[in-house]
Amino acid sequence: MKFLHTMLRVGDLDRSIKFYTENFAMKLLRKSDNEAYKYTLAFIGYGDEKDHTVLELTYNWGTKNYDIGTAFGHLAIGVDEIYKTCETLKENGIPITREPGPVKGGSTVIAFLKDPDGYPIELIQL
């Protein structure tokens, strides 16, 4: 067995692709439209889907926003230089919702932000 992908519904596909590719160095792996059911899928990630878990962005045509709900937690992205990464994100106009620092009761350095649709992202110092 293998974990393949996580899917997020997004209100503006191009905005979300730009957010993840420009700020987190992900690559657009493939994109497809489904005319019959009126949606577009974009798969992004750090490597080919056969070797890596990826993020599926789903745009349902005409839907601009979603309720995220209380069951969803966050996406986690490992970064080499968390303090520098957060400064760069801030320079790019992305607010950090939890500044980098050790997790409560531990030593792992984390930070939080939200993507354009409001999904929480945890950055974890590698």
What's domain 73-126's superfamily in CATH? 2,3-Dihydroxybiphenyl 1,2-Dioxygenase, domain 1 (3.10.180.10)
Per-domain residue ranges of the chain = 1-64, 73-126
Catalytic residue, candidates 87, 91, 99, 122: 122
β-pairing, 109-114 vs 120-125, is antiparallel
pLDDT in tens, 41-87: 999 999 999 999 999 999 999 999 999 998 999 999 999 999 999 99
Q: What is the reported pTM?
A: 0.93
Q: In which order are the strands placed within the sheet that holds 109-114?
A: 75-79, 120-125, 109-114, 96-102
pLDDT in tens, 17-38: 999 999 999 999 999 999 999 9
Distance between CA 54 and CA 72 in Å, rounded? 17
| Residue 122 a catalytic site member | yes
CATH of 1-64 among 3.30.230.10, 3.10.20.90, 3.10.180.10, 2.60.40.420: 3.10.180.10
Tokens coding 10: 């997004």
